[in-house]
Structure 1
């Protein structure tokens, strides 16, 4: 096997993997699309099974923009959920840390003993 045979084999392997990737992406998008009813999804899948290249090209041309919008929406939603989770985790301080911070404020004279007791009871109640 010569070097050029290897390059040709590698090229066709790349093309095959790319086609499989496109077909899987289109099928996943068909099932994630909430605007399509069951019959339309079934027809797209049948079309993709029997005429894969033609169906993939038609789908990408006809529905490519909505495909990109759905993907961008999913990414925005995932980012929002991640940010919300990080905020909830970051805001939870241990009761001991809250009491320690309140004790420092009490020692510095920033709060009164009554306020310290209130903070301490809230921290212990949250635990």
Structure 2
């Protein structure tokens, strides 16, 4: 009998094989994430020359497992430091943007008095309210 003629049932693939398949799949995903992280670190490093970047890139592409492990041993400590500096720089840029966006432009006393006079002329505030606000602005 030809084994290809019969469909494969779920019972033909034991639970332990499913576990090992998932384990290898997730290890492969973790390895790919590590490779992309190494490439990002290589091209982010300003102290590394162009030849150094090319050398590490070729090494990691040609011998991925060995290249990744050698890179982590040789430059792993500084990867975290570069990430921290980049994160601090992004955080400071974000805080500066928020400070800039949250600033309210300073109005001069003349602008405030003009606005107050318009409110009084439109009848939005009474004469007493106008005088109190005017005294507060001029003080």
Compute the TM-score of the two structures, normalised by the length of structure 2.
0.69
Q: Name the residue aligned to 1:110.
A: 136
Map 1:84-99 → 2, pairs under 5 A: 84-92=96-104, 99=112
CA 1:106–1:21: 2 relative to 1, 3 Å = farther
Q: Name the residue aligned to 2:62.
A: 50
SS at match of 1:110: helix
How many residues align? The count is 110
The structure having more radius of gyration, on CA atoms, is 2
Cα distance in 2 for residues equivalent to 1:47 and 1:23 = 11
SS at match of 1:92: coil
Bigger RCO of structures 1 and 2 (CA < 8 A, at least 6 apart): 1
Unaligned runs of 5+ in 2: 1-12, 117-128
Preserved CA contact (<8 Å) 2:112 2:137: no
Unaligned runs of 5+ in 1: 116-127
- Which of residues 2, 24, 31 is equivalent to 2:36? 24
Cα distance in 2 for residues equivalent to 1:82 and 1:106 = 42
Cα distance in 1 for residues equivalent to 2:29 and 2:65 = 13
CA 1:31–1:107: 2 relative to 1, 3 Å = same
Q: Identify, as 1 or 2, the structure richer in helix.
A: 1
Compute the TM-score of the two structures, normalised by the length of structure 1.
0.75
Q: Displaced runs of 4+ in structure 1, greater than 4 A?
A: 102-106
Give the CA deviation at 1:99.
Answer: 4.0
Q: RMSD value over aligned CA atoms?
A: 2.6
